[in-house]
């Protein structure tokens, strides 16, 4: 399982900023990430282990400056844990496969799920849907 990899393993595979966010629970500044305003069709994979975490069909503009989704790609791919850092009560979300920090989930989503998975762009990688072109 990918959770068993040590920091040296991840430092060799991630940029310094990706490591800070994914492995040290950092946060990128709002409105700066690659996917905050992208609505291209595809799957959002874990930056570290390539697990499918979210689908573009669940992405919405939350106005917060980070990619936001109302549901995980399939049950159990995202793990939750209490986060009491910065004097706040939040729920951290992590890749269930490798333990990579993704962001936080909030119960204020505008869709039927009522959830807003607020994700760092550096934690995910978009795998765009590609359709064969007709000649």
Tell me which residues are annotated as active site. Answer: 118
Question: Is 64 annotated as ligand-binding?
Answer: no
Question: Is 98 annotated as ligand-binding?
Answer: yes
Query: DSSP assignment of 46-102, as one string?
Result: ETTT--EEEEGGGEE--SSSS-EESS-SSTTSEEEEEE-GGG--EEEEEETTT--EE
Question: Which residues make Cβ contacts (< 8 Å) with residue 118, sequence separation at least 6?
Answer: 62, 64, 66, 67, 68, 103, 104, 105, 106
Question: Is 49 annotated as ligand-binding?
Answer: yes
Question: Is 48 annotated as ligand-binding?
Answer: no
State the binding site: 46, 49, 95, 98
State the binding site for Zn(2+): 46, 49, 95, 98
């Amino acid at each position: 399982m990918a959770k068993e990899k040590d920091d040296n393993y991840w430092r060799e595979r991630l940029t310094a900023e990706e490591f800070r966010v994914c492995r040290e629970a950092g946060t990128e500044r709002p409105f700066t990430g690659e996917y905050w305003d992208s609505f291209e069709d595809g799957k959002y994979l874990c930056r570290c282990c390539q697990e499918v975490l979210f689908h573009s069909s669940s992405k919405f503009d939350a106005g917060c400056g980070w990619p936001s989704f109302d549901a995980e790609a399939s049950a159990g791919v995202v793990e939750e844990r209490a986060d009491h850092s910065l004097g706040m009560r939040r729920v951290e979300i992590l890749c269930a496969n490798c333990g990579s920090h993704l962001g936080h989930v909030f119960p204020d989503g505008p869709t039927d799920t009522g959830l807003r998975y607020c994700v760092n762009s550096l934690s995910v990688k978009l795998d765009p849907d590609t359709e064969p072109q007709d000649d």
